Chains A and B, each alone.
Chain A
C-alpha cells in the first residue's frame, strides 16, 4: 500500500454569519484519488465548508492546504486555477448553448479571437469519451436529461484539469439507473487520480461509493471514519447522537377537542394522508427533505390544490381554495423559506406585521396610524423583536427577528391552527428558545400547532405526537414517550437498516 497522499487539508476552519457560527474549527482532509463523503443534516455546515473551498465565501480563521500550497483564503478564480471544481445542485449551464460550447465557456479554443469550432467539438468529444457517456457535443444542453447535464458539468471540470471535484447532493436530481451511471463515472475518475468530495444525506449511497465518511453536525466535525468497519447504525448515531438539550419547554400534556381533521387527501405530491390535530397540541411532522412535508402544509393551507379528500376545521368542511380562505377559517402558515414566502424583505416591519389585519385597522377605509403603531408595539413587546424602529425594512433584521416578525403577523390574525414549516431554521439558539416558549404559550391558549422540522431534536422536544412522512405518504405515528431519533430515521428513510 502506498502511503497516504493528502491533496486537501482544511485546518481549523471557522466561519460565522452575522455572529451566528456556521463552522467551528472544522478540519477536513482528503486523500488523492479517493471518494470522500461529507454528510450531515441541513444546516450542519456542509455547504459553507464547500463555499469556502470554492472561494465563494471567506473563512474567518483557519487555513487550507491544497496540493502542498498553503492558503488562508481562496477566491473563486484561484480555486479554479488550483484545480478545484464544484458542481452545485443548481447546475451552472447555459441551456441554449451546445454541450461543447458549455464545456469550454469562457475558454474557447480560438485563433485571434475566432473560435475554432472543429477543435472545440473535438476536445469536447474526447472529454465525454473519457467519461464513457453518450452525449452529442453539438446538442443544446436544454435537450439533455438532468443526468446528462450533470455529466457535462463533470466534463467541464475535467477540461479545467480539476484534481478535486466536489459534488453537492448530486443524487438529488437523479433517478434509478442514472445514479449507477454517476457512480461508474466517479469510479473511473478516481481510477485516474481525481479526488471526489461527495455530499449527500442518503446513507445507503454514501456507503456504496465513499472511501471515507466525515460527519458534520452543528458546524463541527463529529467524526471522520473509513467506510470499512463503519456500520449504518454507527453512522446514524454520529449524525444524530446529540442528547436533547434543555431548551425545550415541557409540553402542556393535555389536548382538547379535534380542531383540524385531514381525511385521505391526495394531490400530485401527497398520497392519501389522514390525521387529526387537537386544540392545544403540537403535532410534529418529520421526514426527509422532499418527502412531502412542505407540500402537506401547503395543501392544507390552500396554497396548492388537492385532488381528493377532505379538510375539516372545528367540524366544518373547508377544502381551502386559497390561502385567503384558510386565513378566514383561522389558519396561519409560517413557511419554510422565510425570504421567498413569509416576509416582504423590502417593506417596513410595520407593514409586514399588519398586512393580514388591515381591515381591523381602518375607519371608513382609511388606515388609523395610531392603532397600527399600537399593534406593532404590542407585537414587538410580546415577541421581544429587537429592531431600530418599525419603519426599518425587514431585510435588515437578523434571521431570528425576521421569523418573529412573520410569527407576529400571524398571531395578530388570532389563528386556531398554525402550520409551522421549519420554524427555527437558520436562527440562533437564543431566538430558537424564545420561539419554543411562544409555541408552548400558544398551546396553553388552545392553539393547535402543526410543526414540520428537519431537526430531530426539535421534533422530539416539541411534539406531543410525531408523524413521519416518506414519498408523500404518512409512514408512521410515534407518541412522544417512545419516539427516538433512530425510530424516526428508520421510518423516514427506506433501505437503511438500523436494527
Chain B
C-alpha cells in the first residue's frame, strides 16, 4: 500500500492560512490600530491637510522601500539608498539650476546616474562574487563622500515646474501619491505575472536551485539592483520638487528605514518570501508612527525608543503565528 495519500491529509489548512497571511494581517492590523489612535487621541489626524500630507509622505519612503524589497527578495541588500538619494537631489538641483529648459535633461541624467550605480552594484556582485552587503556598504560610503564633495550647504535650484509638481493634485490626492500607487500596482503585476518576477523569487529562494534550473541568476540581479537604485534617484527627484534646492542633509539613514519597512512587511532577509503589499504595510506603519508622534507632541528623545518598540513588537506579533 502506498502511504502517499495518507501523508497528505494533514489537518493543516487553517494553520497554513495563518502562516501565509499572518504577516499581512498582523501588519495591517497594526496600521488600523495606529489609525484608530490617531482618530481618537488627536484632533488633527483626520483633517484633510494631515491625511494629504501623510499619504504624500508614504510615497517618499514607499518608493525606495519597494526598491529595497526587490533586492531583499533575491536575498541581497542595498545599503547605498540614502547616499544615492542625496547625490541624486544634489546632481539634479545643480543641473536644473532653476531653468525650465533644463528640467527634462536634468531628470534623465539623474535617472541614468541611478541606473548606472545599480548596474555597478550588480556587476561587482556578479563578477567579483563580493557580498551585496559589502558592495553596497562601500557604495554608501563613497556616495556620501561624493555628496560632501559636491556641497555641504544647499545648492542648485529646482525649475518652476518641478516645484509646482510637488503640490499638484488629482482629485483629493497628491500626484506624488497617485504615481506611487501606479508603481505599487505595476510592481505587484511584475512580481506575480511576469517571468522576471518569478525569477526574482526563485533566485532568492535558492540560488543554486535557480542556477541548476537554467535561470539567468546574474541578469535577475542586474534587474533588481538597477531598479532599486533607479527608484532611489526617483526619490531624490521627489525631494528636489519638495525642497526646491539640492539639500545635502536629506535622507540620512534612509537605507535602514527602508530595510525596517521591508522587514515589518514580512519579507525575509534571506530572500524568496514576501511581497509588495507587506512592504507597503511596513511603510504605512512607519509613516503613521512618525505622523502620530508629531501630532501627539512626543518629545524627540523618546521617538527613537517608541519606534524601536514598534519594530520589535510588530515582528514578534507574527513570529508567534509562524512558530
Contacts and interface: CB of A to CB of B under 8 A. Distances in A.
A344 B202 contact: yes
A367 B201 contact: no
B213 interface: yes
A358 B2 CA distance: 33
Contact of A386 (B4, B13, B213, B214): B4
Contacts of A347: 201-202, 205, 272
Q: Which residue of A340, A343, A344, A365 has the most chain B CB atoms within 10 A of its CB atom?
A: A344
Give the size category of B's interface with A.
20 to 34
Interface in B1-41: 1-8, 10, 12-13, 16
Interface in A262-296: none
Interface in B184-225: 192-195, 198, 201-202, 205-206, 208-216
Interface stretch (A158-166, A306-314, A392-400, A452-460): A392-400
Interface in B48-64: none
Interface in A1-60: 18-20
B4 A400 contact: yes
A362 B215 CA distance: 16
Nearest to B19: A393
A430 B3 contact: yes
Contacts of A409: 213
A307 to B, nearest CB: 20
A432 to B, nearest CB: 10
A365 B1 contact: no
A415 B193 CA distance: 26
A311 to B, nearest CB: 17
A344 B3 contact: no
A367 B209 contact: no
A365 B213 CA distance: 20
Contacts of B272: 344, 346-347
B194 A20 contact: no
Main secondary structure, interface of B, reads: helix
B273 interface: yes
Interface string A246-264: 0000000000000000000
Interface in B81-138: none
B195 A327 contact: no
A147 interface: no
How many residues of A sit at the interface, in one of the four size bands? 35 or more
A366 B216 CA distance: 18
A355 B12 contact: no
A333 B211 CA distance: 11
Given A324-B214, A324-B216, A367-B198, A428 B5 contact: no
B212 A335 contact: yes
Interface in B268-304: 272-273
A406 to B, nearest CB: 9
A392 B3 CA distance: 19
A19 B198 contact: no
A19 B10 CA distance: 12
Contacts of A343: 209
Contacts of A342: 209, 212
Nearest to B272: A346
A392 B16 contact: yes
A436 interface: no
Contacts of B192: 367
Contacts of A328: 214
Interface string A309-322: 00000000000001
Nearest to B197: A367
A346 to B, nearest CB: 5
B215 to A, nearest CB: 7
Contact of B215 (A335, A345, A355, A430): A355
Given A358-B195, A365-B194, A367-B193, A386 B206 contact: no
A326 B10 CA distance: 38
Interface in A213-230: none
Interface centre among B193, B209, B211 (most CB of A within 10 A): B209
A306 to B, nearest CB: 17
B194 A327 contact: no
B202 A388 contact: no
Contact of A430 (B2, B208, B214, B216): B2
Contact of B4 (A340, A345, A428): A428
B3 A428 contact: yes
A335 B215 CA distance: 16
Given A322-B214, A342-B212, A428-B2, 10 more contacts: A18-B7, A19-B3, A20-B3, A351-B201, A355-B213, A356-B214, A359-B195, A362-B194, A429-B2, A434-B2
Top-6 shortest CB links A-B: A430-B2, A327-B214, A324-B214, A344-B205, A358-B195, A398-B7
13 contacts: A20-B3, A322-B211, A342-B209, A358-B198, A386-B4, A386-B5, A392-B16, A396-B12, A396-B16, A398-B8, A400-B4, A429-B2, A434-B2
Interface of A: 18-20, 301, 303, 322-324, 326-328, 333, 335, 340-347, 351, 355-356, 358-359, 362, 365-367, 369, 386-388, 392, 396-398, 400-401, 409, 428-431, 434
